[in-house]
Amino acid sequence: MKNMNWNDLKIFILVAEGGGLSSAARKLNTSVPTIGRRMLVLEEAVGKPLFHRSQSGYSLTKNGETLLAKVRPMEAATFPLEEWLVPDHKRPLVRISAGTGTAAFLADRFSELWSSADAFQLAFVTAEKPLNISHREVEIGIRNRPAENGNLVSRKLQKVCFAPYFNRHVQQSEGSGWVAIDHENVVHPAAHWVLNQKNLSVNAWANSPATLHSLIRAGAGIGVMPCFIGDRDQTLKRYSPVIDKLTESQWLVTHGDDRHRSEVRIAADRIVKTLLKESPLLAGERPLD
């Protein structure tokens, strides 16, 4: 067996996780043919086939699975050295993905998550649909369900409750209209719940939770929101009690290898601590009068 190139092994990890050459090429800002050639060189060095190649992509052979299991610990072990070699102005970035409400909630508590003494940076990525942590699109994801597959680790957080809200300065009645997320942008169960209500009159539509919040504040109608947003907005008041059917648990998801990186571990622990402290608010136990 010839000497293997560590750069080729890192490319191999990306190809294995992405199921093909294209995703690895995009991440490395190079061409697909170049990635393909590097994998052929690696297979020659290993002396064994690593991939099943098909029109639908690349899948690992048994040898490929064995190699991936062996190089993942190497990847995790070399990261501190690579981090040390990076200039101070290029501190490692921990990307935190969350829905609109949770992202804003954490951003408001930024001082609890980061300080100027930290040797890393934080980036908040607002996304209603979960990003691909297996492909390293983000380091930490806050989700309403645990990860179902891949080399991912899920950590259960606090429960989150939802209730309908309206502008407390605008009189509402039983037949008052609602505001809702439009059909093309419905993702969360709370948005589906509104659309599934029979004989419900919608005054205004929104394509994002942020716009939905703005419409409720503007008095456009009643809308369902997380209690941790609605209950701390002095403009809003609950129209009716918590909707038990929508109560859910939050989960913190990280990559099985990246969770051992010091900056990811520190950021994750601080998120857990911050959310734990705010458990009553998340659970809808602090409604405004």
DSSP states of 94-108: EEEEE-HHHHHHHHT
Fold of 6-74: Arc Repressor Mutant, subunit A (1.10.10)
238 DSSP β-pair partners: 165
Q: What is the DSSP letter of 288?
A: -
pLDDT at 73: 79
Angle at 211 between CA 231 and CA 175, to 5 degrees: 70
Spans of all domains in the chain: 6-74, 88-158+248-279, 162-246
271 burial via Cβ count (<10 Å: 0-12, 13-18, 19+): buried
Homologous superfamily of 162-246: Periplasmic binding protein-like II (3.40.190.10)
CA-to-CA distance for 186 and 208, rounded, in angstroms? Answer: 9
Q: What is the pLDDT along the chain (289 residues), one digit of tens a residue?
A: 456 778 889 899 889 888 888 888 887 778 888 899 999 999 989 999 999 998 878 999 999 999 988 888 776 666 555 555 555 556 789 999 999 999 999 999 999 999 888 889 999 999 888 888 988 889 999 999 999 877 899 999 999 999 999 999 988 766 689 999 999 999 999 999 999 998 889 999 999 999 999 999 999 999 999 999 999 999 999 999 999 999 999 999 999 888 888 899 999 999 999 999 999 999 999 887 7
pLDDT at 78: 63
pLDDT at 1: 47
Taking the model in full, what pTM does it have? 0.67
Q: Tell me if domain 88-158+248-279 and domain 162-246 are identical in fold.
A: yes
143 DSSP β-pair partners: 251
CATH class for the region spanning 88-158+248-279:
alpha beta
